[in-house]
Amino acid sequence: MTMKKKRTGGNPARTSPSPRANLELLAVQIAPLLDSIKAGNASTQAWKSVSRVIGLTTDASAISQAWDVLHEKAFSVEADAEGVSEFINVLLRNRATPFQVLFELDGFVKHHVDASSYNSFWHNSEQRWAAMTSPGPVQARGEWNVRSGQAGDACDRLAVMVAKTRQEHFIVTAWIFALEHLADPAPSKMPALVAAFQANPVTPAAVKVDALIFKIDA
Protein backbone atom coordinates (compact mmCIF):
# COMPACT_ATOMS: atom_id res chain seq x y z
CA MET A 1 0.00 0.00 0.00
CA THR A 2 1.35 3.32 -1.01
CA MET A 3 0.99 5.18 2.26
CA LYS A 4 1.67 2.57 4.92
CA LYS A 5 5.29 3.49 5.56
CA LYS A 6 5.04 7.23 5.10
CA ARG A 7 6.41 9.08 8.11
CA THR A 8 6.45 12.85 8.01
CA GLY A 9 5.83 15.77 10.30
CA GLY A 10 7.37 18.66 12.17
CA ASN A 11 9.22 21.53 10.60
CA PRO A 12 12.53 20.46 9.01
CA ALA A 13 13.70 24.06 9.01
CA ARG A 14 13.86 24.08 12.80
CA THR A 15 17.00 22.94 14.56
CA SER A 16 16.03 20.42 17.21
CA PRO A 17 17.97 19.26 20.25
CA SER A 18 18.87 15.59 20.49
CA PRO A 19 16.14 13.25 21.74
CA ARG A 20 18.18 12.69 24.92
CA ALA A 21 18.37 16.44 25.54
CA ASN A 22 14.62 16.73 25.02
CA LEU A 23 13.92 13.96 27.51
CA GLU A 24 16.35 15.29 30.10
CA LEU A 25 14.93 18.81 29.89
CA LEU A 26 11.38 17.52 30.22
CA ALA A 27 12.38 15.31 33.16
CA VAL A 28 13.83 18.32 34.98
CA GLN A 29 10.49 20.14 34.66
CA ILE A 30 8.18 17.17 35.21
CA ALA A 31 9.80 15.96 38.46
CA PRO A 32 8.80 18.98 40.60
CA LEU A 33 5.31 18.97 39.06
CA LEU A 34 4.85 15.33 40.05
CA ASP A 35 6.11 16.12 43.55
CA SER A 36 3.65 18.99 43.90
CA ILE A 37 0.79 16.81 42.60
CA LYS A 38 1.60 14.21 45.26
CA ALA A 39 1.62 16.93 47.88
CA GLY A 40 -1.74 18.22 46.66
CA ASN A 41 -0.51 21.70 45.74
CA ALA A 42 0.35 21.59 42.04
CA SER A 43 0.38 25.18 40.83
CA THR A 44 -0.55 26.79 37.55
CA GLN A 45 3.08 27.81 37.18
CA ALA A 46 4.30 24.21 37.58
CA TRP A 47 2.02 23.04 34.75
CA LYS A 48 3.04 26.01 32.60
CA SER A 49 6.74 25.29 33.14
CA VAL A 50 6.25 21.77 31.77
CA SER A 51 4.09 23.07 28.94
CA ARG A 52 6.73 25.61 27.97
CA VAL A 53 9.32 22.86 27.51
CA ILE A 54 6.87 20.65 25.59
CA GLY A 55 6.19 23.59 23.30
CA LEU A 56 9.89 23.81 22.43
CA THR A 57 10.36 20.06 22.04
CA THR A 58 10.67 18.74 18.50
CA ASP A 59 11.05 15.06 19.39
CA ALA A 60 7.78 13.12 19.14
CA SER A 61 8.94 10.37 21.50
CA ALA A 62 9.78 12.87 24.24
CA ILE A 63 6.35 14.46 23.93
CA SER A 64 4.71 11.03 24.01
CA GLN A 65 6.59 10.10 27.19
CA ALA A 66 5.57 13.37 28.87
CA TRP A 67 1.94 12.65 27.93
CA ASP A 68 2.17 9.10 29.32
CA VAL A 69 3.37 10.43 32.67
CA LEU A 70 0.97 13.36 32.98
CA HIS A 71 -2.31 12.70 31.18
CA GLU A 72 -4.18 10.94 33.98
CA LYS A 73 -3.08 13.61 36.44
CA ALA A 74 -4.13 16.35 34.03
CA PHE A 75 -7.68 15.01 33.94
CA SER A 76 -8.05 14.32 37.66
CA VAL A 77 -10.56 16.24 39.73
CA GLU A 78 -7.79 17.99 41.65
CA ALA A 79 -5.92 19.26 38.58
CA ASP A 80 -5.28 22.99 38.15
CA ALA A 81 -7.67 24.08 35.37
CA GLU A 82 -5.61 26.97 34.01
CA GLY A 83 -2.36 25.02 34.00
CA VAL A 84 -3.93 21.95 32.40
CA SER A 85 -5.58 24.12 29.75
CA GLU A 86 -2.14 25.40 28.76
CA PHE A 87 -0.85 21.80 28.73
CA ILE A 88 -3.62 20.78 26.32
CA ASN A 89 -3.16 23.83 24.09
CA VAL A 90 0.58 23.35 23.76
CA LEU A 91 0.09 19.72 22.72
CA LEU A 92 -2.25 20.94 19.99
CA ARG A 93 0.10 23.70 18.86
CA ASN A 94 3.29 21.65 18.68
CA ARG A 95 3.61 20.12 15.22
CA ALA A 96 5.86 17.41 16.65
CA THR A 97 3.10 16.01 18.87
CA PRO A 98 2.52 12.49 17.54
CA PHE A 99 -0.90 11.50 16.28
CA GLN A 100 -1.28 8.92 19.04
CA VAL A 101 -1.10 11.64 21.71
CA LEU A 102 -3.63 13.81 19.89
CA PHE A 103 -5.95 10.83 19.43
CA GLU A 104 -5.81 9.93 23.13
CA LEU A 105 -6.11 13.61 24.09
CA ASP A 106 -9.32 13.88 22.08
CA GLY A 107 -10.77 10.91 23.94
CA PHE A 108 -9.88 12.30 27.36
CA VAL A 109 -11.24 15.75 26.59
CA LYS A 110 -14.48 14.34 25.18
CA HIS A 111 -14.96 12.19 28.29
CA HIS A 112 -14.23 14.90 30.85
CA VAL A 113 -15.85 18.09 29.54
CA ASP A 114 -19.30 19.19 28.38
CA ALA A 115 -20.33 19.29 24.72
CA SER A 116 -19.68 23.01 24.33
CA SER A 117 -16.14 22.73 25.70
CA TYR A 118 -15.44 19.72 23.49
CA ASN A 119 -16.67 21.59 20.41
CA SER A 120 -14.24 24.39 21.27
CA PHE A 121 -11.44 21.85 21.62
CA TRP A 122 -12.36 20.28 18.26
CA HIS A 123 -12.34 23.72 16.62
CA ASN A 124 -8.83 24.34 17.95
CA SER A 125 -7.77 20.91 16.73
CA GLU A 126 -9.09 21.64 13.24
CA GLN A 127 -7.18 24.94 13.23
CA ARG A 128 -4.05 23.06 14.19
CA TRP A 129 -4.36 20.70 11.24
CA ALA A 130 -5.25 23.57 8.89
CA ALA A 131 -1.92 25.19 9.77
CA MET A 132 0.04 22.01 9.04
CA THR A 133 2.02 21.89 5.80
CA SER A 134 2.46 18.10 5.85
CA PRO A 135 1.04 15.07 7.68
CA GLY A 136 1.95 14.82 11.35
CA PRO A 137 4.25 12.25 12.97
CA VAL A 138 2.93 8.76 13.73
CA GLN A 139 4.82 6.51 16.11
CA ALA A 140 5.51 3.00 14.87
CA ARG A 141 4.42 -0.16 16.61
CA GLY A 142 6.77 -0.76 19.51
CA GLU A 143 7.06 2.95 20.18
CA TRP A 144 3.31 3.00 20.85
CA ASN A 145 0.77 0.19 20.90
CA VAL A 146 -3.00 0.27 21.15
CA ARG A 147 -4.06 -1.03 24.55
CA SER A 148 -5.13 -4.66 24.67
CA GLY A 149 -8.78 -5.09 23.79
CA GLN A 150 -9.25 -1.44 22.80
CA ALA A 151 -8.49 -1.57 19.08
CA GLY A 152 -12.16 -1.92 18.14
CA ASP A 153 -13.15 1.09 20.21
CA ALA A 154 -10.24 3.00 18.71
CA CYS A 155 -11.54 2.20 15.20
CA ASP A 156 -15.01 3.45 16.13
CA ARG A 157 -13.67 6.70 17.62
CA LEU A 158 -11.35 7.32 14.70
CA ALA A 159 -14.19 6.76 12.21
CA VAL A 160 -16.21 9.49 13.95
CA MET A 161 -13.25 11.88 13.84
CA VAL A 162 -12.51 11.13 10.19
CA ALA A 163 -16.14 11.74 9.23
CA LYS A 164 -16.14 15.05 11.11
CA THR A 165 -12.83 16.59 10.07
CA ARG A 166 -12.36 18.77 7.02
CA GLN A 167 -8.58 18.85 7.21
CA GLU A 168 -6.63 16.88 4.62
CA HIS A 169 -3.48 16.48 6.71
CA PHE A 170 -5.51 15.01 9.56
CA ILE A 171 -6.97 12.43 7.19
CA VAL A 172 -3.61 11.43 5.74
CA THR A 173 -2.07 11.11 9.20
CA ALA A 174 -5.07 9.19 10.52
CA TRP A 175 -4.85 6.76 7.59
CA ILE A 176 -1.18 6.06 8.32
CA PHE A 177 -2.09 5.53 11.97
CA ALA A 178 -4.98 3.18 11.09
CA LEU A 179 -2.83 0.99 8.86
CA GLU A 180 0.00 0.86 11.38
CA HIS A 181 -1.98 0.24 14.56
CA LEU A 182 -5.59 -0.82 13.91
CA ALA A 183 -5.74 -2.96 10.76
CA ASP A 184 -4.25 -6.09 12.34
CA PRO A 185 -5.85 -6.08 15.84
CA ALA A 186 -9.34 -4.98 14.69
CA PRO A 187 -10.00 -6.36 11.20
CA SER A 188 -13.77 -6.59 11.73
CA LYS A 189 -13.95 -2.86 12.46
CA MET A 190 -11.83 -1.73 9.54
CA PRO A 191 -14.55 -1.76 6.82
CA ALA A 192 -16.54 0.97 8.59
CA LEU A 193 -13.36 2.98 9.21
CA VAL A 194 -12.28 2.62 5.58
CA ALA A 195 -15.75 3.75 4.50
CA ALA A 196 -15.39 6.89 6.61
CA PHE A 197 -12.15 7.75 4.81
CA GLN A 198 -13.73 7.10 1.42
CA ALA A 199 -16.81 9.21 2.20
CA ASN A 200 -15.06 12.33 3.42
CA PRO A 201 -15.06 14.97 0.64
CA VAL A 202 -11.56 16.21 1.50
CA THR A 203 -9.89 12.79 1.51
CA PRO A 204 -7.05 13.02 -1.03
CA ALA A 205 -7.04 10.69 -4.01
CA ALA A 206 -3.97 8.80 -2.78
CA VAL A 207 -5.76 7.78 0.42
CA LYS A 208 -8.91 6.80 -1.49
CA VAL A 209 -6.85 4.57 -3.79
CA ASP A 210 -5.04 3.07 -0.82
CA ALA A 211 -8.38 2.46 0.91
CA LEU A 212 -9.74 0.71 -2.17
CA ILE A 213 -6.66 -1.53 -2.34
CA PHE A 214 -7.08 -2.30 1.35
CA LYS A 215 -10.70 -3.37 0.77
CA ILE A 216 -9.69 -5.60 -2.13
CA ASP A 217 -6.85 -7.19 -0.13
CA ALA A 218 -8.92 -7.69 3.04
The predicted structure's pLDDT at residue 109: 96
Considering only CA atoms, which of 170, 167, 67 is closest in space to residue 109? 67
- The per-residue pLDDT string of the chain (218 residues; one tens digit each, 9 = 90 and over) reads 343 333 334 433 333 445 555 567 677 778 888 888 877 777 888 889 889 989 988 989 989 989 998 999 899 878 889 999 999 999 999 999 999 999 999 999 999 999 999 999 999 999 999 999 999 999 999 999 998 889 999 999 999 999 999 999 999 999 999 999 999 999 999 999 999 999 999 999 999 999 999 988 87
The predicted structure's pLDDT at residue 16: 45
Q: Give, as one character, the DSSP assignment of residue 136.
A: P
Considering only CA atoms, which of 181, 108, 169 is closest in space to residue 133? 169
What are the CA-CA distances from residue 117 to residues 93, 110, 145, 164, 166 (Å)?
A: 18, 9, 29, 16, 19
The rounded Cα 136 to chain-centroid distance in angstroms is 9
The predicted structure's pLDDT at residue 20: 54
What are the CA-CA distances from residue 97 to residues 94, 102, 136, 144, 149 (Å)?
A: 6, 7, 8, 13, 25
Cβ(212)–Cβ(175) below 8 Å: no
Cβ(66)–Cβ(22) below 8 Å: no
Residue type, 182: L
The predicted structure's pLDDT at residue 12: 34
The predicted structure's pLDDT at residue 41: 77
Query: How crowded is the C-beta side of 10, counted as CA atoms within 13 Å?
Result: 20
Q: How far apart are CA 116 and CA 194, in angstroms?
A: 29
